[in-house]
């Protein structure tokens, strides 16, 4: 249940917050203080325990000499309505980056929100409430590229493309893009993991073709989940 509380009265201004659990983004006073407006998580965000998640903020007007943001912290709310520190998720990351990624700790599933330090700025100091849980919702996108006519060269940079239509609202990131080869007896043989933990809405990922594999025409990708394959394609020297 969301509890509305008045946190303090400073200089005649009443600050209020809706607290269920929270993540606070801290700031150390420096030459160019920066108080970020939280962009994500949003009300539709879902974080899965023990998997990677991220917080983003508006970095469009970050001063060039802004101090690093010293921490992202996770809080929940006590039975009396006050904040209770749970864990530090990340420390000392550039304000200019607009994003910090971390592994979600093992917490009690529930409703959370992201909060930044408030210094009477006119930007929002907290996000909408979102959910942390332990249910992994996979997303198996249609692979657009490579196709059956694709040719990759050993050691080259290539782009893997997938469809972003019909993405489930609570789907996790793409866990992996793995390279496989069809073996002599027709079964899949793992070759290498090309990239991991890609935002599902990104729609593509840059990969490097391994150099220690044998050229051939029976390679394919397995994207996000077992059995979600691309067509077979060719890798040459």
Rounded CA-CA distance 209/99 in Å is 28
More confident residue, 146 or 11: 146
Both 178 and 111 in one domain: the answer is no
- Contact present, 53 and 142 (Cβ < 8 Å): no
One domain, residues 153 and 72? no
Domain that holds residue 43: 3-133
Considering the domain boundaries, does residue 138 fall inside one?
A: no
Residue after which a domain boundary falls, among 76, 101, 133: 133
Domain identity same for 224 and 170? yes
Domain boundary among 113, 133, 153: 133
Is the model more confident about 180 or about 23?
Answer: 180
Look at residues 72, 124, 122 and name the one whose alpha carbon lies nearest to residue 94: 72
Q: Which of 100, 133, 166 is the last residue of a domain?
A: 133
Per-residue pLDDT, averaged over 113-134, amounts to: 62
pLDDT reported for residue 213:
95
Q: Is there a single domain that holds both residue 120 and residue 159?
A: no
What pLDDT score does 219 carry?
Answer: 96
In this structure, are 110 and 149 located in the same domain?
Answer: no
pLDDT digits (tens, 9 = 90+) for 30-41: 454 566 777 888
The CA distance from 12 to 84, in Å, is: 26
Together in a domain, 156 and 230? yes
Residue 197: predicted pLDDT: 84
Using one digit for the tens of pLDDT, what is the confidence trace for 163-173? 988 777 666 67
The domain that holds 167 is classified in CATH as 2.60.40
195 in the same domain as 104: no
Q: pLDDT confidence of 153, banded at 50, 70, 90?
A: very high
**Above pLDDT 70, what percent of the chain?**
73
What SS3 string covers the chain?
CCEEEEEEEECCEEEEEEECEEEEECCCCCCCCCCCCEEECCCCCEEECCCEEEEEECCCCCCCCCCCEEEEEEEEECCCCCEEEEEEEEEEECHHHCEEEEECCCCCCEEEEEEECCCCCCCCCECCCEEEECCCCCCCCCEEECCCCCEEECCCEEEEEECCCCCCCCCCCEEEEEEEEECCCCCEEEEEEEEEEECHHHCEEEEECCCCCCCEEEEEEEECCCCCECCCEEEEC
- Examine the domain organization and report whether 119 and 161 are in the same domain: no
Residue 56 has pLDDT above 80, yes or no: yes
- Using pLDDT thresholds of 50, 70 and 90, give the confidence band for residue 26: low
Q: Which residue has the higher pLDDT, 20 or 61?
A: 61
CB 160 within 8 Å of CB 143: yes
Domain-located, residue 165: yes
Q: Are residues 99 and 156 in the same domain?
A: no
Residue 124 included in any domain = yes
Same-domain status, 163 and 115: no
| 103 and 147 housed in the same domain | no
Question: Could you tell me the pLDDT band of residue 91, with boundaries at 50, 70 and 90?
Answer: confident
Q: In this structure, are 174 and 214 located in the same domain?
A: yes
Is residue 22 situated within a structural domain? yes
Q: Specify the pLDDT at position 29.
A: 46
């Amino acid at each position: 249940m969301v509890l509305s509380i008045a946190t303090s009265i400073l200089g005649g201004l009443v600050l209020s917050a809706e607290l269920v659990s929270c993540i606070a983004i801290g700031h150390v006073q420096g030459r160019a203080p920066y108080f970020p407006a939280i962009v994500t998580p949003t009300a539709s965000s879902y974080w899965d325990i023990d998997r990677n998640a991220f917080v983003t903020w508006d970095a469009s007007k970050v001063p060039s000499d802004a101090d690093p943001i010293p921490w992202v912290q996770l809080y929940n709310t006590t039975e009396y309505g006050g904040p209770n520190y749970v864990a530090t998720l990340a420390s000392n990351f550039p304000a200019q980056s607009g994003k910090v990624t971390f592994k979600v700790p093992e917490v009690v599933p529930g409703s959370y929100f992201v909060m930044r330090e408030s210094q009477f700025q006119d930007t929002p100091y907290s996000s909408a409430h979102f959910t942390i849980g332990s249910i992994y919702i996979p997303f198996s996108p249609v692979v657009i590229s490579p196709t059956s006519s694709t040719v990759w060269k050993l050691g080259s940079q290539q782009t893997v493309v997938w469809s972003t239509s019909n993405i489930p609202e609570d789907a996790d990131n793409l866990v992996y893009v793995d390279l496989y080869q069809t073996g002599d007896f027709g079964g899949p043989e793992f070759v290498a993991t090309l990239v991991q933990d890609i935002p599902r809405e990104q729609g593509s990922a840059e990969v490097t073709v391994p150099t220690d594999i044998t050229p051939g025409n029976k390679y394919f990708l397995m994207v996000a989940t077992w059995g979600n394959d691309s067509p077979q394609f060719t890798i040459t020297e």
